[in-house]
Structure 1
């Protein structure tokens, strides 16, 4: 997989552990394997958008905005300049084709 970079996003994973995410692959890994909070709707949306971006079907900045939305939903501090520029809540319903994603989502066993 190619690494698709975007503007860095700084998250406070715990009170003393910060993480800077600089690519769609890093965002996907954090969301899928290392998310410190209970996943919510924005988390699921961000994971799906990152998966689509890694397939070349969505842009890196859309994935970045979705990551920021998931972090905001989880109450994770975002560094200055990392606030979302647009609402990503309707991205999957309105503009992105969503492929069948094995292993992602509440319907998976």
Structure 2
């Protein structure tokens, strides 16, 4: 991770057009992807995401704004964010509502 990176939480995982998934943990990774590996060049949201990520690296805008702009650009390019599945710890039980007995 570069020294000037601005991490975001939670990480963003997107599904690339080829079907693979890729996770981005901060603004620097997202900007590098936007500038060097992006499948589309002239999308409005792509341009906005590049500018917002640069501003976040310079401390002008919060990382969460850059994260949202990046996710919007990915959506515009047909690369949706992948939602992480809930993980249940082994041995734990999900709370259940008590059943009412019919009288």
Q: Which runs of 5+ in 1 are unaligned?
A: 82-109
Q: Which runs of 5+ in 2 are unaligned?
A: 85-103
The answer to whether structure 1 residue 70 and structure 2 residue 73 are counterparts is: yes
Q: How far apart are the structure 1 equivalents of 2:52 and 2:78?
A: 20
What RMSD, in angstroms, separates the aligned Cα atoms of the two structures?
Answer: 1.5
Equivalent runs, 1:52-71 vs 2, <5 Å: 52-71=55-74
- Which has the larger Rg? 2
| Correspondence for 1:45 | 48
- Please identify runs of 4+ aligned residues in structure 1 that moved more than 3 A: none
| Correspondence for 1:107 | none
**TM-score normalised per structure 2:** 0.72
The answer on whether the counterparts of 1:49 and 1:66 sit within 8 Å (CA) in structure 2 is yes
Aligned residues: 81
**TM-score normalised per structure 1:** 0.68
